[in-house]
Amino acid sequence: MRIEDTDQNRFVSGTEEYIIESLKWCGITPNEGVGFGDGPHAPYRQSERKPIYRKYADQLVERGYAYYAFDTTEAMDSMRKQAEAANGNFAYDASTRMSLSNSLSLSAEEVKNKIATGEQYVIRLKVTPGEEITFTDLIRGEVTFKSDVVDDKVLLKSDGMPTYHLAHIVDDYLMKISHAIRGEEWLPSAPAHILIYQYLGWEKEMPFYAHLPLLLKPDGNGKLSKRDGDRLGFPVFPLAWTDSATGEKSRGYRERGYYPDAFVNMLAFLGWNSGTAQEIFSLEELAQAFSFEHIHKAGAKFDPEKAAWFNEQYLRNKSSETIADNIRDSVRTTFSFDSNDHRLSGDFLNKATELLQPRVQFEHEMLEKGNYLFVAPSNYDQPVIDKRWKPECAKFFNDLNSAYTTLIPFDAENTKFIFEKTASENNLKPGEVLQLLRVLLSGQSGGVDLFGMIALLGKDEVIKRISSALENIKK
């Protein structure tokens, strides 16, 4: 776990802790690094490794592969404006470097004096024009760039901090990194990185490179951003995040109710597949199944519904006892139950969870969509009553209550049998009163298995709810 914090202008308070907490929530545990204990490659914050980078930047200068550049910010801005006025883009490279203020265009004496007087400078990579730079990308195959399109990137800034271009290469080499995997937006920078490896004499130790496809908006038009999530109502961040500077809040998958293993499973399938029909993988199974050959080159459209589907699969596969334990405190506080209330007991809550599992995608939806299992309804689906209620229904439900009063055992099978028998005795088809029974008991026209719900609620509660609903309908 390495923290790349060399750009102090972009430093945001709290992000380091956020990254560590996110990884821990996902179950991804680095074997060494910031937040996970020191190992042989400490320190792990790049801001604490400045002398290391300076050593290699100086080495590149000494070998003629880099140079000092003394250009001021004002001078650079002026050059950019001139290029824009000519409908072009300014690049600090072989075509412009000799007209600028650097150790290639100045005499050795001038350079020495500038450094001695404390004039600020950066160290830039010296790219030789007219060459081809070729490397193998594990996803895209052999990639070739002309060196003419590679600018003389800054390697060491005037404050002594390295840029990403130098720092990650030095760290990857010293930390013995085997694979450098990053987004495809870094592909244009890859040729400069290949040159740095070559110029430092580390070409044989260079890690394998792989440039991942971008994550795209749900419609496929453009790169996914947190603002797309805010606009369309789905999380983009793993955990909720509040920007300390602006106060802007972003949703998190954890707070939305996603299981961490479902979240990781979903992420793995953005731009990759296993080559089989299997979609549900544990972290260990993903590690075994993963291969670069099955990463797509094209960008991956993010599908919020598919993300929720992954969580639904994990919820379905959990035991009802586990979920009941997870939601018990929420049930108690949501419905203001006493700690000894029978609806918090393992027997009741486990069965309620079992009924709700096939009908929700997140645990918190059990309280929203299944509230009628815990408290009697105060309102009833009026359109269903208007459509299905007949004068003879009142007698049927009173007869049903009477039949239920003496029914033993009061289980799903027996209650369904008595329901159908009572309907027949009242010259009604079960289908004519089935949905009405659901509305009288739950207030809703749809929901969990009806007779499973009746068995869960128990004889006294069912009779009480039917009687109360009949009084409301009469009014």
Q: Which residues of 150-187 are buried (b: 16+ CB within 10 A; e: fewer)?
A: bbbbbbbbeeebbbbbbbbbbbbbebebeebeeebeeb
Would you say how long the chain is, in residues? Answer: 475
Residues 215, 225: Cα–Cα separation, whole Å: 9
Q: What is the chain's Cα-based Rg?
A: 33
In the structure encoding, which two tokens stand for residue 379, read together? 């309102």
At 320, is the secondary structure helix, strand, or coil? helix
DSSP of 134-174: EEEETTTEEEEEEGGG----EEE-TTSPBPHHHHHHHHHHH
- Selecting among 50, 157, 217, 226, the annotated active-site residue is 226
Residue whose structure tokens are 């102090």: 8
**Residue type present at position 197:** Y
User: According to DSSP H, which parts of 67-211 are helical?
Assistant: 73-85, 108-116, 164-174, 190-200
HEC states along 243-283? CCCCCCEECEHHHHCCCHHHHHHHHHCCCECCCCCCCCCCH
* CB 215, CB 184: distance < 8 Å: no
Q: Which amino acid is at 381?
A: D
Complete DSSP assignment for 278-299: -----HHHHHHH--GGGB-SSP
> Is 475 among the residues known to form the active site?
no
Strand 132-137 to 141-146 pairing = antiparallel
Q: How many helices (H) and strands (E) does the chain have?
A: 20, 11
Active site residues: 226
